[in-house]
Amino acid sequence: MIHRQRKWIAAVLATIVAFAMLAGCGGGGNNTADNKAGTSNSGTATSNTSSDNGTNVKKFDNMELNVAVFQGGYGREYWDAVADSFMKDYPGTKINITASPKIAELIRPKIVAGNPPDFMYISGSDNTPLVDAMIKDKAVLDITDLFNENALDSNTPLKDKILPGALESRSMSPYGDGKVYMAPFNFGVMGLWYNKNLFDTKGIQVPKTWDELFALNDTAKQNGRALFTYQGLYPGYLEEMIIPSIYGLGGQDAVNQMYEYDPTFWKSDTFKQVWGLLDKIANDDNGLMKGTVALNHTQAQTAFMQGKAMFIPNGTWFEDEMKDAPREDGFQFGFLGVPAFKSGDPVMAMTNVEQMLIPAKAKNPELAKEFLKYIYTEKSVKLNGEKSKAVLAVKGAPDLVKEYISETTYNVYKAVDSGMKTTNGTFKPVAKGSKYNPADEVYKPISSIMNKQLTLDQYSEKLTKVYTDIQKELSAQQ
């Protein structure tokens, strides 16, 4: 899945996951866009909700809701199902779902024209610059009050159902003003994956350090595969090993340097060691699977599953996204996490929570808010597990959906529960009108490093200039 908004402040998330898991908490296929709508009644209507969600009678002047969603590794089936459920529980409402892997391309003209969808779930490396732009332009609705209201299926504030720390993170509260603009959706754990059956049958030890991982290059070659591959056309996937590695070396201070545009980061030892991993993969014989840089996510992931590479970065959506993909005999998903630099240091993982939002210029914000609250009901959480094999970012979600997700996926969450250290973060908003998209500036040039067309020194100079420019823009804006 093109998943790139892996978004949570590192120190907060380490606490969140440990607390959430101990408390029993938890945590799209690529088709062309189309629409699905239910029965419609025009005008003001009274909506009688079912006893399943425990809501009171609601009235909406506008009964129609336009929803735009990213269709990636989690698919779109959940969105169709939750829309159908909502329309049954709120008779007379009509929800139009537009879903696409390239959802930003479809809705950007409407947003520019001042006619955005009423509700959006936008993910994927090609799509998230649109959300970044909306944040820069203050084009997202303040939904703080919504989380202070009671949940639809309990007498407790909705915010109390959300994973601790999520609403306070920069990805949900991007302006640092204590107000919530983005709503948490699926919760994921990310790192390196391997073929568990290969390791078990061949007696290969799962590496806990980078030295141990690189020492497996000969083993990879003996088993007819490269050491490493990644989703070449979407180098943002490498974030899943880069950010935990930064944290492992430099802690939260180094992660903050990265995400808050400190130009000195690109001259630091932490940068040199972490990006040195990429340079080593690119330059070691058999280190990078041939042709990787030209592959999209599903092509690279299929090649990995067919035994052409030993490791690949990905997240907990991986298994379900590739459920129909060809694979080598006996293939089993195995999750490694991210190795440490020093023996005895913990293996780490990256975590993220996807975002949902209501545009500030939405035509029907009240119905959009009700739909958003509905997504956090237990009925919806279970639907999401059943249809998407995903874990919503609410307390108790993994146990609610355990019957629907694979044992491997469930065990990934439990690995975090058992002590695998986690980290994450998100870029500080750039100045309004900035020419820079930080994620693109950081990750897209990595393809040139892997192709041996760009040296680490050249990359360092480029990013130092970018970060210096971003800081100047931010200072001029104040």
CB 59 within 8 A of CB 44: yes
DSSP tag of 159: G
What does the alpha-carbon distance between residue 121 and residue 99 come to, in Å, rounded to a whole number?
9
What does the alpha-carbon distance between residue 464 and residue 19 come to, in Å, rounded to a whole number?
37
Look at strands 348-357 and 421-423 and give their pairing.
parallel
**Structural fold of domain 24-187+353-405:** D-Maltodextrin-Binding Protein; domain 2 (3.40.190)
What does the alpha-carbon distance between residue 422 and residue 453 come to, in Å, rounded to a whole number?
33
What does the alpha-carbon distance between residue 16 and residue 276 come to, in Å, rounded to a whole number?
30
Task: List the chain domain ranges.
Answer: 24-187+353-405, 189-350+429-477
H-helix or E-strand spanning residue 193: strand 183-195
Bridge partners of 353? 187
Q: Which of 359, 210, 208 is nearest to 277 (CA)?
A: 210
Q: Which of 94, 81, 104 is nearest to 33 (CA)?
A: 104
List, in order, residues 6 or more apart from 190 with CB less than 8 Å away. 6, 240, 313, 314, 315, 316, 349, 350, 351, 352
Copy the structure tokens of residue 154.
């309990």
Copy the structure tokens of residue 203.
């007696």
Copy the structure tokens of residue 290.
């041939």
Residue 284, CA distances (Å) to 154, 214, 290, 473 in order: 56, 9, 12, 39
Residue 204, burial from CB neighbour count under 10 angstroms (0-12, 13-18, 19+): middle
For 40-102, give the DSSP string: ---SSEEE---TTTTPPPEEES--EEEEEEE-STT-SHHHHHHHHHHHHHSTT-EEEEEEETT
Q: What is the tens place of the pLDDT at every residue in 12-25?
A: 344 344 334 333 33
Copy the structure tokens of residue 56.
């009171």
The separation between CA 230 and the C-alpha centre of its own chain, rounded to angstroms, equals 16
Q: 444-458 as b/e, with b when 16 or more CB fall inside 10 Å? A: ebbbbbbeeebeeee
For 354-414, give the DSSP string: EEEE-BTT-S-HHHHHHHHHHHTSHHHHHHHHHHH---BSBTTHHHHTTTTS-HHHHHHHH
Q: Which of 54, 5, 16, 31 is nearest to 102 (CA)?
A: 31
What does the alpha-carbon distance between residue 351 and residue 15 come to, in Å, rounded to a whole number?
12
Domain made up of 189-350+429-477: CATH architecture: 3-Layer(aba) Sandwich (3.40)
Each residue's pLDDT, cut to its tens digit, for the chain (478 residues) gives 544 444 333 333 443 443 343 333 333 333 333 333 333 333 333 333 333 444 455 789 999 999 999 998 788 999 999 999 999 999 999 999 999 999 999 999 999 999 999 999 998 767 788 998 899 899 999 999 999 999 999 999 999 999 878 898 888 998 889 999 999 999 889 999 999 999 999 999 999 999 999 999 999 999 999 999 999 999 999 999 999 999 999 998 999 999 999 999 999 999 999 999 999 999 999 999 999 999 999 999 999 999 999 999 999 889 988 999 999 999 999 999 999 999 999 999 998 889 999 999 999 999 999 999 999 999 999 999 999 988 998 888 888 999 999 888 888 877 765 667 888 888 988 998 899 999 999 999 999 999 999 999 999 999 999 999 999 999 998 7
Residue 36's SS3 state is: strand
Copy the structure tokens of residue 121.
């779930």
Copy the structure tokens of residue 81.
């199902």
Q: What is the tens place of the pLDDT at every residue in 122-141?
A: 987 677 889 988 998 999 99
CB 34 within 8 A of CB 190: no
pTM beyond 0.85: the answer is no
What does the alpha-carbon distance between residue 433 and residue 93 come to, in Å, rounded to a whole number?
38
Look at strands 348-357 and 119-121 and give their pairing.
antiparallel
